[in-house]
Structure 1
Amino acid sequence: MLAQQRQDVILADVRARGAVRVTDLVGTLDVSDMTIRRDIAELERQGLVHRVHGGAVDAHHTAHEPDFAVKRMLAAGEKSAIARAALAWITPGSSIALSAGSTAHLLAELIAADPTLRPLTVVTNSLPVADTLHAASRRDGDRGLDVVLTGGVRTPSDALVGPVADAALGQLRVDRAFLGVHGLGPDGLTTPNLLEAQTDRALIASAHDVVVLADHSKWGVVGLARIVSLESVDVLITDSGLPDAARRIAQAAVGHLLLAATTATPERGEP
């Protein structure tokens, strides 16, 4: 297969799914990962995709929302590091909110595995987060882990959104909200889903502090709907892959910027 033919296949896959993984394309196209990376680099040069760790996302479709399984596969190492760093911002006896998204779900898995964080109340509009925490609560005999799941309309990312979710969140107050986002940049946080943007704003309004969980590949990605400005973020936890220019912008806008370590390098910043 010629390079142009491979790139056409890759672009079609990105536009159909919103994102692709290098490892999947290696198997599909029967070429080396370096060949796929060169093809993705060429598509990025043409402005058709954005490279992210482990794959690529659509550069143009601001209204396209990849499904939860696709999101979970991209930038997996960075997301795990961010979730580990976020765990330090949770204290026993508190109430927190967890949004939908793959990084928030990784944080939920860490919470589920850590009995020292009990008692803890978790409010969420994410079905995978609720399932993970509910399973841990049943396993532990319901000792100190309470899960509150909003209602709402299900999105491709397995979030519950819309007026029902907004009304539920409007009645609640939590100590800290942990929010995953589709994209962020100088203009703030964005998502492809209009209803999810409104529900995310309701989740933010319910919290005393807002912690955003976003790996470096999210910087510069723009969704259709704006959620809030960077100035509304108390803590941004990202990773050391964030470019220097983006670090300076984020540092000036958010309350606290934390770069989670993906290697042996310690995290920069602490609660």
Structure 2
Amino acid sequence: MNNYRMTNLFLMLLLLLACGKESRTPNIPDPEPPQPKEYTFTSVPTWADEFDYEGLPDDDRWGYDVDPQNNGWGNNELQYYTEKRLENARVANGVLTITAIKEEHGGLGYTSARLVSRGKADFLYGRFEVRAKVPPGRGTWPAVWMLPTDWAYGGWPASGEIDILEHVGHDQDVVHISVHTEAYNHVAGTQKTATKKIQNATTDFHRYRVDWTPDYIRGYVDDVQLFSFSNEGTGFKAWPFDKKFHWLINIAVGGNWGGQQGVDEEAFPASMEVDYVRVYGLIEN
């Protein structure tokens, strides 16, 4: 091969290498996903019940759900929820006590109470906190939670549910924080929930909290975050949480979850104690 050919071949190789370099994709990192907006809340409650009085729960804050049809609330529950009955709902010594009792009433074998703030205190967004101690005993199912006031998107679960504290006695060292929507619920096997093991949930008070904003719902136990659910922006089937909700405080007996391992009749009467419930308003930035 003469020098002329070798020179041309060398130049062609250099040209190919140069073209190859120019055609490479630049090493540009992927953009960071947008971070959700962080919200703040008022430093003092905008609504609360400190239970610093005696007798029945405050009529200005609380009403009652009762079940005259004894339909088990759709969960095969065994209790009859009474209204304004001190044996089932009493405030004393700075604490609200909800008590489930084994006794015949209204055709059922247990009584209990289900307090609701519906129509008296309804909320759209905020920080919701409760300090509570749950009862031991297989078959108990206490909860502090929230339901929609107007059911604008239809019946459960389409209009949503927020569980700030949920507990079942057969798993007594574990507490749960959850949400339910049409897209995400336990019936469909898509429920969004988080659990935390607490060795003394039934003997000591703990603080349970949910921060509800237009963009996310986050759950905490003793200020430790364990739950987060984001607004996907896909509509009410995933996020019905743009309407007013209200508090519920109750103890159910048995039921599809609470009674999964049966009901220990010796565990009753069973009481949940609530030191306070507080709402801190969302601050619009």
Aligning the two structures, in what range does the TM-score lie when normalised by the shorter sequence? under 0.3
Which structure's relative contact order is higher, taking Cα pairs within 8 Å and 6+ residues apart? Answer: 2
Q: Which has the larger radius of gyration?
A: 2
Give the structure with the larger helix fraction.
Answer: 1
The TM-score normalised by the length of structure 2 is 0.27
The TM-score normalised by the length of structure 1 is 0.28
Give the structure with the larger strand fraction.
Answer: 2
